[in-house]
Each structure stands twice: as structure tokens, then as C-alpha cells.
């Protein structure tokens, strides 16, 4: 391994180098193109203050373009030949552009280099995940519209509670996913400050054009204090994972509902064939593995959050412990991307057995409707409640359709306001695409 910082004298042997790098250089593959963009912007900033010449910048730009193209085509592989992605960029710039490659690290440290790559990666993924979560919302809205009034039992404690509808159930996920997407979009904005040009955590004795570099990278502002930049590592990851967690908790809940509703005893819902698998021994089985893996996906995010938070028990300043926040962060984000991407198709292709859903609405579930009717006629609610509890058997003549048609409180079955949810989604989609 060629070490950026080798300066003669003793160095860790290969076993120790491998321990220090760990999976880090492989995880850097996810940050590599962002690091290339930031390196370019940094070089441009250096030229504006006279540390690099216009010719230097021309050859660095060309070498960075070529490196990116080779990385994307697979001609350049980022692997354990390098200590990390940052070292790889510098080594490749030297190899491709010669002496000028040795100039590019002036005024920065890998400590701010990794942070700018993480923020660029995090901002991009937050926006993509927000869009993907909006796609989940749209799929749920579509199903809510399609079967808005189809009766479905509303459960609390997994006990039949009140008659409800497919519309209410699917619109709940639609609104939830819109809120999750909002959380992600807010987080993209929260991440949108440039740490680049703070070096190892204490600034440098150069009049770096930090603002110009931040502008080139499309950051809304600067993270000012160099020590704070280092202190924010790990927190930025936790901030994004909190928003990712919102989406994944809804994915998990949806997966749970589908697990229950597809159980043979209920069989309200059928899964698309592409989302089921076979058993290696039981020829009769079609298993909901995909839904179960979606349910397990939140665990990756929650586990990553715990691992990152555990790494942050540190005093001020950079510590190599911080490297330990990178792998769980990237792993959780990439897994969430893959999971969320499957949800719209899953939702769109579910089949609903409306007869079975309707048949599960038992007379007792009308009790709350009846109590509220007595209230409308003037009874105090508690008296109505007691009275209805004593006459549950008399509720059998009611129909689910009448029950849900009368559920007029805003947002409820008879007033789902799907258009309002759609407007919120559209507004956010427009905001994210600007």
C-alpha cells in the first residue's frame, strides 16, 4: 500500500495497515465521485488565491475527468492498494498529471476532505430517498383512490375495532410517506453547508476562498468553525439516518400489515408473484420473503444509528474512531435505497380480496358508531357507551358501507382528502427537482 503520509522511518506493517483501513477503502467507493468533485472545487479555489496556476488547474481538471470516467467504467478500481479514497485520488492525480498532483492537498486535510464527501453524498442520497419515498406515497394514494370505500376492519391491539376501508389504510401510508419524505428533504437542507477548507480542524494560514468552493459545490452556506466541523462528524450521519429511519419504520409497518393480511387465515391481500419465493422442502409453499426482508430493513438503520452513536464518545478534534461511523452509515443508506425502491411496485401489484375483507367485519365493530349516534341524539357519551356495551347483539343488521359512509370527521373514511395528500406530495416533488 502506498501511504500518503509516509515520510521515512518506521511505518505500520501490512497487517496493521489492513487493520487500520478495514473496509474503509471499499466503503469509499460510495464517496469517491463526491470526493473527486470536491477535489476539483478545492483546486479551483487554490488557483483563485494563487497557490495553483491556470495551467495546473487545466491539467488537474483533465486528470480528474479521466479518473472519474475510469472509475465509472471499471477501468480504475478503488481497492486495498490504497489506504483510502482520498489517498487514491492524490496518487492517481500524480500518476496522471505529474507534479501538480502533489500540490492539490495544500490547505486541506483528509479530515475535511472526508467530511465534504460525506455531506455531498448525504445531501444527494437524502434527496433521492425523499423522491423514492414520495413514489411510495403515490403508489399508496393510487390504491387508496382505487378502492377508497372497500370495507376493511380497523384493528387496535390486533383486535377488531371498527369498520374501516382500504382507502383509509392506504391513505395512512400515503400521508406517512409524504411526512417521511419531508423529513428527508429537511435533512438535505440541514446538511447543506460546506466543511471544506477547515483542514484538520483548526483552519490554515492561507486566505482560502471557502465561499467560492462552497458555491461551486452548490452548498447553501459554510460550516464556519473548523473544530465544529470535526465535532459534527457522526452527528450529520445520525441526522440523515433519523430521516431514513422515518421511511423505514413505515416500510416496516406496511410489511407487517402485509404479513398479517396475506396470512391464509385472513387472506385479505395477495402478494404479486415476483414478491414470493418457494420453500426448499415444502412444495406447497409460496413464502413472503421479500416482505419479511423489507420488515427487517429498519433493523439495519437502527443498528447503524446505535453503532455510530457509540463511536462518538470522544473529546473535541479528529480521532480515527470517527472512521467507524462511515461503514454503518453507508451500509444503512444503501440498504434503505434498495428497500424503498421495491415498495411502489409491491403496493401497485397487491391484490385485494374485498369479499373476505368485508366478511371479517363482525357486528361488535359497530358499537362505537352506535354510541356516537346516541350522543348525536343528546346522550352523554359515557352513558351511551354503557348502554351499547349491554346490547352488542343488536348491531348485526348494520352494514360496513353505512358505517364508513357516516365517518365524516375530516381525514376519516368518508372524507379521506386524498387530493390534499397528493398536493403535499406534488409540492415537495417540485421543490426537490429544483
Q: Taking phi first (over 0 means left), then psi (-120 to 50 degrees means alpha), and beta for anything else, what does residue 399 get?
A: beta
Residues 310, 312, 318: CA angle, nearest 5 degrees: 145
* Residues identified as active-site: 157, 279
Q: Which stretch binds ligand ARG (CB under 6 A): 171-179, 278-286, 315-323, 365-373?
A: 315-323
CA distance 24 to 385: 62
Name which of 131 and 200 has its Cβ closer to ligand ARG.
200
111 binds ligand ARG (CB under 6 A): yes
Least distance from C-beta 194 to ligand ARG, angstroms? 17
141 binds ligand ARG (CB under 6 A): no
CB 248 within 8 A of CB 181: no
Residue 407 CB, nearest approach to ligand ARG (Å) = 54
Cβ-contact 167, 147 below 8 angstroms: yes
Rounded least distance, CB 315 to ligand ARG, Å: 15
Cβ-based nearer residue to ligand ARG, 194 or 323: 323
> Could you say whether residue 237 binds ligand ARG (CB under 6 A)?
no
- Options 96, 110, 119, 245; binder of ligand ARG; rule CB under 6 A: 110
CB nearer to ligand ARG: pick between 303 and 317: 317
119 scored as a contact of ligand ARG (CB under 6 A): no
Site for ligand ARG in 6-25 (CB under 6 A): 24
Sign, Cα dihedral of 110, 111, 115, 118? positive
Candidates 110-118, 201-209, 255-263, 388-396; binding stretch for ligand ARG (CB under 6 A): 110-118
By beta-carbon proximity to ligand ARG, the closer residue of 23 and 65 is 23
CB nearer to ligand ARG: give 114 or 333.
Answer: 114
Q: How many residues form the binding site for ligand ARG (CB under 6 A)?
A: 10
Q: Check binding of 30 to ligand ARG (CB under 6 A).
A: no
Q: Does 114 bind ligand ARG (CB under 6 A)?
A: yes
Instruction: Mark 73-102 with x for binding to ligand ARG (rule: CB under 6 A) and - for no binding.
Output: -----------x------------------
Q: Which of 71, 169, 318, 352 binds ligand ARG (CB under 6 A)?
A: 318
The answer to whether 112 contacts ligand ARG (rule: CB under 6 A) is no
Q: Does 326 bind ligand ARG (CB under 6 A)?
A: yes
Stretch that binds ligand ARG, among 121-129, 180-188, 318-326, 377-385 (CB under 6 A): 318-326
When asked if residue 322 is in the footprint of ligand ARG (CB under 6 A), the reply is: yes
Q: Per rule CB under 6 A, is residue 232 in the interface with ligand ARG?
A: no
CB closer to ligand ARG, 39 vs 262: 39
Closer to ligand ARG by Cβ: residue 215 or 321: 321
Using CB under 6 A as the binding rule, whether residue 323 contacts ligand ARG is answered as: yes
Where on the chain is the footprint of ligand ARG (CB under 6 A)? 24, 84, 110-111, 114, 318, 320, 322-323, 326
Amino acid at each position: 500500500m502506498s501511504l500518503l503520509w509516509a515520510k521515512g522511518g518506521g511505518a505500520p506493517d501490512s497487517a496493521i495497515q489492513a487493520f487500520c483501513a478495514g473496509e474503509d477503502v471499499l466503503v469509499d467507493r460510495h464517496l469517491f465521485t463526491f470526493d473527486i468533485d470536491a477535489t476539483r472545487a478545492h483546486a479551483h479555489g487554490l488557483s483563485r488565491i494563487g497557490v495553483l496556476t491556470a495551467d495546473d488547474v487545466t491539467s488537474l481538471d483533465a486528470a480528474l475527468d479521466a479518473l472519474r470516467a475510469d472509475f465509472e467504467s471499471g477501468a480504475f478500481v478503488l481497492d486495498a492498494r490504497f489506504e483510502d479514497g482520498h489517498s487514491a485520488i492524490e496518487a492517481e492525480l500524480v500518476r496522471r498529471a505529474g507534479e501538480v498532483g502533489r500540490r492539490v492537498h495544500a490547505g486541506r486535510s483528509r479530515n475535511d476532505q472526508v467530511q465534504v464527501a460525506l455531506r455531498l453524498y448525504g445531501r444527494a442520497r437524502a434527496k433521492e430517498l425523499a423522491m423514492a419515498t414520495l413514489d411510495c406515497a403515490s403508489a399508496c394514494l393510487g390504491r387508496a383512490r382505487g378502492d377508497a370505500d372497500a370495507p376493511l376492519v380497523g384493528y387496535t391491539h390486533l383486535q377488531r375495532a371498527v369498520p374501516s376501508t382500504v382507502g383509509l389504510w392506504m391513505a395512512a401510508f400515503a400521508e406517512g410517506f409524504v411526512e417521511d419524505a419531508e423529513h428527508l428533504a429537511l435533512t438535505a437542507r440541514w446538511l447543506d453547508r460546506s466543511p471544506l477548507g477547515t483542514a484538520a480542524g483548526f483552519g490554515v494560514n492561507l486566505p482560502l476562498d471557502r465561499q467560492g468552493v462552497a458555491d461551486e459545490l452548490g452548498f447553501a452556506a459554510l460550516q464556519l468553525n473548523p473544530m465544529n466541523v470535526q465535532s459534527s462528524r457522526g452527528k450529520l450521519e445520525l441526522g440523515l439516518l433519523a430521516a431514513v429511519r422515518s421511511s423505514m419504520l413505515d416500510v416496516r409497518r406496511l410489511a407487517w400489515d402485509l404479513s398479517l393480511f396475506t396470512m391464509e387465515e385472513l387472506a385479505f391481500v395477495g402478494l404479486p408473484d415476483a414478491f414470493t419465493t418457494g420453500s426448499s422442502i415444502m412444495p406447497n409453499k409460496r413464502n413472503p420473503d421479500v416482505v419479511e426482508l423489507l420488515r427487517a430493513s429498519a433493523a439495519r438503520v437502527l443498528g447503524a444509528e446505535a453503532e455510530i452513536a457509540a463511536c462518538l464518545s470522544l473529546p473535541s478534534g479528529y480521532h480515527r474512531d470517527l472512521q467507524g461511523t462511515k461503514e454503518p452509515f453507508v451500509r444503512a443508506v444503501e440498504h434503505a435505497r434498495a428497500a424503498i425502491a421495491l415498495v411502489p411496485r409491491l403496493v401497485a401489484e397487491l391484490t385485494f380480496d374485498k369479499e373476505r375483507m368485508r366478511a371479517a367485519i363482525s357486528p361488535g365493530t359497530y358499537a362505537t358508531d352506535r354510541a356516537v349516534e346516541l350522543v348525536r341524539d343528546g346522550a352523554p357519551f359515557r352513558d351511551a357507551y354503557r348502554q351499547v356495551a349491554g346490547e352488542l347483539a343488536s348491531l348485526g343488521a348494520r352494514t360496513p358501507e353505512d358505517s364508513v359512509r357516516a365517518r365524516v370527521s375530516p381525514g376519516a373514511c368518508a372524507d379521506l382528502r386524498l387530493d390534499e395528500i397528493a398536493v403535499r406530495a406534488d409540492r415537495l416533488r417540485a421543490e426537490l427537482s429544483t
